[in-house]
Amino acid sequence: MPPLFLFVGYGGVKMAGEQEERDRVINWDPELRNMPREVRNVIAPTPLQGTDRMQFRCHPGIACFNECCRNIEILLTPYDLLRLRRRLQLSAEDFLFQYATLYTMSKGQLPVAMLRMDEETGRCPFVTEEGCSVYSDRPVTCRYYPLGMALLHRQKAAEDESFYFLIKEDFCLGHREACHWQVDAWRQDQGSDGYDERNQQWMEFIIKRRSAGDGVSTSLPVSEFFYMASTNPDKFREFVFQSSFLQRYQVAEEQLERLRGDDEALIDFALSWLKSVLFGDQDVRVKPEAFASYKASKKAKASE
């Protein structure tokens, strides 16, 4: 099976680079031929680590200011959604209705939220002539730019690999500015580190589902629960506390207390539960009595 990629910090493109430049990207690793072409079109052909250096500066005085804020696809991570709806003082449902659209990943068939761009201009709904109106709470994709991060899953590897890459779109003049950064310093300056930590389990779930291929079926209920956990923790909280969930699954009392008021903890718990359901992980266990009751019911039905 070829490697699978999950990209963070990269949306769509408007203009491609030179063909020979993008073709050099595959020299990173022959297996990277599987990388999506729309990504290969604009990335510099050298993978970066945290200590590597880059040249970039964006500011209101640059001629291309705000050009990167239109005609792109921005997937909203769970932490993106939490920060944005808190900033706007909106419920999860109201934010999704006003600013997001449903997008289903082709590999793995998992539904995610995508930021809805203005239909006429293609601009981000939060961008103004002066810049981003939600800058301190902007999505992780915007924080990374002009970097991206790739999470690479290889079939025989014990752990997923990650590396960074530089996005160099033709319209962007920030790469000509005399300002140099280490990759890690740029990420810290932009506040990406906290977002990466908050979104880690969500990213790992997606790539694990993608790597499972067609051998694991993503049923409609699992897809719905994944979308609920990713976008609407209040609804998932209702499911945990107002259904028969706690009669079937073991959850420590101290964890329940966190789940009642901590959205980040609830999202992590939801993803752990979904991994148990979909992949047989043991993060969230079924109560022995609930399992015994299930087996007895199944046996009774078989004997009818």
Q: What is the pLDDT of residues 176-203, one digit of tens each?
A: 999 999 999 999 999 887 888 888 888 8
C-alpha of 278 from chain center: 19
Q: What's the pLDDT at 43?
A: 66
Residue 158's SS3 state is coil
- Going by their DSSP bridges, the two strands 111-115 and 100-104 should be labelled as antiparallel
**C-beta of residue 285 within 8 angstroms of C-beta of residue 246:** no
175: Cβ contacts below 8 Å, ≥ 6 apart: 55, 56, 146, 168
249: Cβ contacts below 8 Å, ≥ 6 apart: 273, 284, 285, 286, 287, 290
Q: Give CA–CA dist 288/149, Å, rounded.
A: 42
Domain ranges of the chain: 4-207, 232-291
Residue 100's SS3 state is strand
Q: Quote the mean pLDDT of the chain.
A: 80
Q: Give CA–CA dist 206/120, Å, rounded.
A: 32
- Stretch (H or E) spanning 128: strand 127-128
Q: What's the pLDDT at 283?
A: 85
Q: What is the pLDDT of residues 232-290, one digit of tens each?
A: 999 999 999 999 999 999 999 999 999 999 999 999 999 999 888 888 888 889 888 87
Q: What band does 14 get if pLDDT is binned at 50, 70 and 90?
A: very low
Q: What is the largest CA-CA distance in the chain?
A: 78
Burial annotation 222-245 (CB, 10 A radius, 16+ → b, else e): bbebbbbbbbbbeebbeebeeeee
Q: What is the pLDDT of residues 50-70, one digit of tens each?
A: 999 999 999 999 999 999 898
DSSP state of 113: E
pTM of the model: 0.81
The pLDDT of 204-210, averaged and rounded, is 79
pLDDT of 16 over the 50 cut: no
The pLDDT of 207-225, averaged and rounded, is 71
224: Cβ contacts below 8 Å, ≥ 6 apart: 111
Q: What band does 2 get if pLDDT is binned at 50, 70 and 90?
A: very low
pLDDT of 151 over the 80 cut: no
pLDDT of 109 over the 60 cut: yes
CA dihedral 259→265→271→276, nearest 10 degrees, is -60
pLDDT of 167 over the 50 cut: yes
227: Cβ contacts below 8 Å, ≥ 6 apart: 102, 110, 111, 112, 113
Two structure tokens written together for 91: 């419920």
The number of beta carbons lying within 10 Å of the beta carbon of residue 163 is: 17
116: Cβ contacts below 8 Å, ≥ 6 apart: 99, 100, 101, 125
Q: What is the pLDDT of residues 85-94, one digit of tens each?
A: 999 999 999 9
Q: What's the pLDDT at 123?
A: 93
